[in-house]
């Protein structure tokens, strides 16, 4: 057996683990962050949950850290009270980005992790089966329900060789994206194996596993070996280590191989993580901003290598260099080593620990000016600037651009690659994560709800007949950032669906909310890989609140497809993609006998078009009821 099969087999609750079949998995740990957490807490309240039933559940505050008005602090007070009420650990602002912080303090080889964040898959670096899903699915998992996923195929990636100087783990995952694109991992688990693993630290593996989300993969998995043991030992958690690996003769559904020694510095051009080229091909492009940090490059070495590269030199005068430490622990260790002083003396701006520019929470670039970032995504407008130009690169390439003011292959800097050795023992910061009170005390906790905290929308059952205007037609690879952004303007309203609806599809068509309110029930037409990117269920809830009942697309990204079903939106695919070209914004879709068609089959007739859905029996019942929450209430 390969490692993925072992992890799934040890947590299988229901279903047959055959590719394409729906299976249910027991969830050991749960992770939520503040951009998704407020809805999760409202969902736990709606489910009348007494106390979470996973081994561990943690709420991280890492996305909206800008307290521009009272709404942000109100959400944090609500989250803390809900954590105390439901038995969830609370990581307050400043403790760090959820993924590296969870890895440091809670990650355990062999465990399953369901996270309301698409980059939850980063925990696969420790030998966990870690899956990013919508908030409602995490709420259900915390309530003791299985996590339902479509059984993926297992894609074995054999790593050989050793990374050359100035090439790092980010270039490994960029090579995967260069080869396979943003949909190459859909309905697959990527399992890394091979002799080169001994050269990759646990945090290097985090970099690679994190951006498996950009390939559309269900998750990524690494073995728990000596490098994982070293990491856990440095965290003071040696007792949590269990050795895990694929059997020596394990097979895979698909296979690929990367010789690390043949890699070169790579960079993703603006607009898509999948548009990857060698750095040399973009050399000379002027750069005005460099952002270092995020869950995609969160390790101590990712900051230290930048500090050592710029040591004794000055950032180019046209470059604004932003450094976002990813956890309190890493900030403390960087401070002890002197790396923070080195960065400040070189001209960098050091910010608080958190997601910040990665999620468009500040650090928005100038219009049309190149911003090089070590973040995982560069979807249009995600940075907070509508006409942005964001490139994705390694810390080495970011440091080279900061010094030269242009995209530069770091091998051309004319200096030796820095040797960075993280401390054997990391700074102790676990005590700053707040433990929930005992169950008896928790039952007395009242939820702290300010006026800015909204409620879940009422969701009515799927009608038997619908006549729906097509209010919007979009192309391929539309991201959830474009459906519902999460930057500095929108995130303060994350707990108020009615107010948040003003931002729906704003990156594509800012007239959509007004048209939707006037039209009522309506449809949206999309291309391939509709809904890629973030797991935020707001991208399903908000359009549903505005009347969205049906999305017809060529294909869907995994998490958004599930989120649509969770909130009663019927996701349909064209059986003939030529029908996509025939449909126009403003056309009407007439669907009759809809309930029986959904309940008894997978094909639905719409005029002379034949559409299909891929819903399981469980999901069909959910969509017919109007969503998962009304379905549970009806029971």
**Of residues 479, 503, 478, 509, the one with CA closest to residue 491:** 503
Q: Residue 239 in contact with residue 385, Cβ under 8 Å?
A: no
Whether 71 has a pLDDT exceeding 90, the answer reads: no
Distance CA 321, CA 329 (A): 22
Residue 438, classified by CB atoms within 10 Å of its CB into exposed (0-12), middle (13-18) or buried (19+), is: exposed
- pLDDT for 592 equals 93
CATH of domain 270-412: 3.30.499.10
Torsions phi, psi of 320, nearest 5? -95, 110
Residue 634 has pLDDT above 80, yes or no: no
The CB-based long-range contact list for 244-247 (8 Å cut-off, 24+ gap) reads: 244/3, 244/6, 244/7, 244/109, 244/110, 244/127, 245/3, 245/193, 246/1, 246/2, 246/3, 246/6, 246/191, 246/193, 247/1, 247/2
Q: Is 365 helix (H, G, I), strand (E, B) or coil?
A: coil
- pLDDT for 128 equals 98
Q: What CATH architecture applies to the domain 466-634? A: Alpha-Beta Barrel (3.20)
Angle CA 90–95–96, to nearest 5: 110
Q: Average per-residue pLDDT in the chain?
A: 96
Q: Tell me the pLDDT band of 467, cut-offs 50, 70 and 90.
A: very high
Residue ranges per structural domain of the chain: 3-262, 270-412, 466-634
- Classified as helix, coil or strand, 342 is helix
Neighbours of 510 (CB within 10 A): 13
Rg (CA), the chain: 23
Judging by beta carbons within 10 Å of its beta carbon (0-12, 13-18, 19+), is residue 623 exposed, middle or buried?
Answer: buried
**Interior CA angle at 561 toward 559 and 563, to 5°?**
70
Output phi, psi for 499, to 5 deg: -70, -40
The per-residue pLDDT for 1 is 96
Report the DSSP pairing between strands 219-221 and 188-193.
parallel
CATH class of 3-262: alpha beta
Residues 6+ apart with CB under 8 A from 409: 166, 264, 265, 278, 279, 280, 283, 397, 400
Contacts (Cβ under 8 Å, ≥6 apart) of 239: none
Please state the φ and ψ torsions of residue 267, each to the nearest 5 degrees. Answer: -150, 140
Mean pLDDT of 102-115: 98
Assess contact for 522 and 468: CB atoms under 8 A. yes
For the segment 78-86, the average pLDDT, to the nearest whole number, is 97
Rounded Cα distance, 408 and 295, in Å: 23
- What are the phi and psi torsion angles at 604 (to 5°)? -135, 130
| Predicted local confidence at residue 213, as pLDDT | 97
State both tokens at 340.
């923070």
CB atoms within 10 A of CB 600: 9
Q: Mean of the pLDDT values across residues 463-492?
A: 94
| CB-based contacts of 345, cutoff 8 Å, min separation 6 | none
Q: What is the pLDDT of residues 16-25, one digit of tens each?
A: 999 999 999 9
pLDDT at 617 (0 to 100): 94
The pLDDT score that the predictor gives to residue 486 is 87
Cα separation, 395 vs 325, in Å, equals 13
pLDDT in tens, 237-253: 999 999 999 999 999 99
pLDDT tens for each residue of 124-171: 999 999 999 999 999 999 999 999 999 999 999 999 999 999 999 999
Distance between CA atoms of residues 232 and 103, nearest Å: 9
* Averaged pLDDT, 327-334: 96
Q: State the helix-helix crossing angle for 34-46 and 538-545, rounded to 10 degrees.
A: 60
pLDDT tens for 270-310 read 999 999 999 999 999 999 999 999 999 999 999 999 999 99
Is 270-412 the same fold as 3-262?
A: yes
- B/e letters for 602-618, b = 16+ CB within 10 Å, e = fewer, are eebebeebebebbbbee
- The percentage of residues in the chain with a pLDDT greater than 70, rounded to a whole number, is 100
The pairing of strands 266-268 and 276-278 is antiparallel
> Would you call 593 helix, strand, or coil by DSSP?
coil
Q: What is the pLDDT of residue 67?
A: 84
Q: Of 565, 548, 544, 563, which Cα lies nearest the Cα of 631?
A: 565
The pLDDT score that the predictor gives to residue 270 is 98
Task: Name the band, by pLDDT with cuts 50, 70 and 90, for residue 457.
Answer: confident
Residue 384: closest CA among 400, 399, 373? 373
What one-character DSSP code corresponds to residue 405? S
Rounded to an integer, the average pLDDT of 210-224 is 98
Angle in degrees, CA 283, 289, 292, rounded to 5 = 95
- CA-to-CA separations, 163 to 196, 209, 262, 299, in angstroms, rounded: 9, 17, 8, 17
CB 292 within 8 Å of CB 395? yes
The answer to whether the beta carbons of residues 379 and 481 sit under 8 Å apart is yes
Q: Alpha helix locations (H) across 123-258?
A: 135-142, 169-180, 202-210, 226-234
Q: Calculate mean pLDDT across residues 94-107.
A: 97
Beta partners for residue 530, in sequence order: 556
Q: What is the pLDDT of residues 496-512, one digit of tens each?
A: 899 999 999 999 999 99
Tokens found for residue 463: 């009608």
DSSP character for 185?
A: T
Q: What's residue 47's pLDDT? A: 87
* Average pLDDT of the residues in 610-615: 96
Distances (CA, A) of 191 to 76, 155, 258, 574: 37, 6, 13, 31
DSSP label at residue 224: B
Structure confidence at residue 451 (pLDDT): 86
Examine the pLDDT at 184 and tell me if it is beyond 90.
yes
Q: How confident is residue 123, by pLDDT bands cut at 50, 70 and 90?
A: very high
Q: What is the pLDDT of residues 357-409, one digit of tens each?
A: 999 999 999 999 999 999 999 999 999 999 999 999 999 999 999 999 999 99
Q: How many CB atoms sit inside 10 A of residue 198's CB?
A: 11
CB atoms within 10 A of CB 218: 27
Q: How confident is the model at residue 265 (pLDDT cuts 50, 70, 90)?
A: very high
Question: Count of CB atoms within 10 A of residue 304's CB?
Answer: 24
**Burial group, residue 486, by CB count within 10 angstroms (0-12, 13-18, 19+):** buried
123, 106 contact by CB (below 8 A) = no
C-beta of residue 61 within 8 angstroms of C-beta of residue 83 = no
Q: What's the number of CA atoms in the CB half-sphere (13 Å) around residue 468?
A: 29
- Cα–Cα distance for residue pair 35/491, rounded to 1 Å: 7
Give the confidence band of 487 by pLDDT, cuts at 50, 70, 90. Answer: confident
Does residue 581 surpass a pLDDT of 90? yes
CA dist., res. 71 & res. 74, Å (int): 5
**Which secondary structure element, helix H or strand E, spans residue 498, and what is its range?**
helix 497-500
């Amino acid at each position: 057996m390969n490692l993925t099969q072992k992890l799934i087999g040890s947590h299988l609750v229901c279903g047959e683990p055959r590719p394409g079949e729906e299976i249910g998995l027991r969830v050991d740990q749960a992770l939520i962050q503040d951009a998704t957490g407020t809805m999760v807490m409202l969902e736990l309240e709606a489910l009348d949950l007494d106390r979470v039933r996973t081994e561990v559940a943690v709420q991280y505050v890492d996305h909206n850290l800008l307290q521009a008005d009272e709404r942000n602090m109100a959400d944090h007070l609500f989250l803390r009270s809900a954590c105390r009420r439901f038995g969830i650990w609370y990581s307050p602002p400043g403790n760090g980005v959820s993924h590296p912080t969870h890895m440091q303090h809670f990650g355990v080889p062999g465990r399953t992790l369901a996270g309301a964040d698409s980059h939850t898959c980063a925990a696969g670096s420790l030998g966990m089966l870690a899956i990013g899903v919508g908030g409602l699915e995490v709420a259900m998992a915390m309530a003791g329900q299985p996590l339902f996923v479509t059984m993926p195929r297992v894609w074995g990636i054999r790593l050989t060789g050793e990374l050359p100087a100035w090439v790092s783990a980010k270039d490994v995952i960029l090579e995967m994206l260069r080869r396979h694109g943003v949909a190459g991992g859909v309905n697959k688990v990527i399992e890394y194996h091979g002799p080169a693993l001994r050269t990759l630290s646990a945090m290097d593996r985090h970099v690679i596993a994190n951006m498996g989300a950009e390939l559309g993969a269900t998750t990524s998995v690494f073995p728990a070996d000596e490098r994982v043991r070293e990491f856990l030992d440095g965290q003071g958690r040696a007792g949590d280590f269990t050795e895990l690996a694929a059997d020596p003769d394990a097979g895979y559904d698909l296979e690929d191989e990367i010789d690390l020694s043949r890699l070169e510095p790579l960079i993703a051009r603006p607009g898509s993580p999948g548009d990857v080229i060698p750095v040399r091909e973009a050399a000379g492009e002027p750069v005005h901003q460099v952002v270092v940090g995020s869950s995609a490059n969160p390790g101590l070495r990712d900051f230290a290598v930048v500090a050592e590269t710029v040591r004794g030199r000055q950032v180019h005068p046209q470059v604004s260099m932003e450094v976002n430490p990813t956890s309190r622990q890493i900030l403390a260790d960087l401070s002890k080593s002197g790396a923070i002083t080195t960065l400040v003396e070189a001209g960098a701006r050091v910010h608080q620990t958190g997601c910040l520019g990665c999620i468009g929470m500040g650090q928005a670039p100038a219009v049309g000016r190149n911003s090089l970032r070590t973040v995982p995504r560069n979807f249009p407008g995600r940075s907070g600037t509508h006409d942005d130009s964001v490139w994705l690169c390694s810390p080495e390439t970011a440091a080279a651009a900061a010094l030269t003011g242009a995209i530069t292959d770091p091998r051309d800097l004319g200096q030796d690659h820095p040797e960075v050795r993280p401390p054997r023992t990391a700074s102790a910061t676990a005590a700053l994560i707040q433990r929930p009170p005992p169950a008896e005390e928790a039952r007395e906790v009242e939820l702290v709800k300010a006026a800015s905290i909204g409620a879940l929308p009422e969701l009515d059952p799927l009608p038997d007949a619908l006549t729906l205007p097509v209010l919007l037609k979009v192309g391929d690879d539309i991201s959830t950032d474009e459906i519902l952004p999460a930057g500095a303007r929108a995130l303060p309203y994350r707990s108020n669906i009615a107010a948040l609806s003003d931002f729906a599809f704003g990156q594509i068509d800012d007239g959509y909310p007004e048209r939707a309110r006037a039209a009522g029930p309506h449809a949206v037409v999309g291309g391939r890989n509709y809904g890629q990117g973030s797991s935020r269920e707001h991208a399903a809830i908000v359009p549903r609140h505005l009347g969205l009942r049906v999305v017809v697309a060529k294909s869907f990204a995994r998490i958004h497809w599930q989120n649509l079903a969770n909130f009663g939106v019927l996701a349909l695919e064209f059986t003939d993609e030529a029908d996509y070209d025939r449909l126009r914004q403003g056309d009407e879709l007439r669907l009759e006998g809809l309930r029986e068609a959904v309940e008894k089959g997978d094909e639905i007739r719409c005029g002379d078009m034949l559409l299909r859905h891929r819903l399981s029996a469980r999901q069909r019942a959910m969509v017919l009821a109007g969503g998962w929450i009304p379905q549970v209430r009806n029971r």
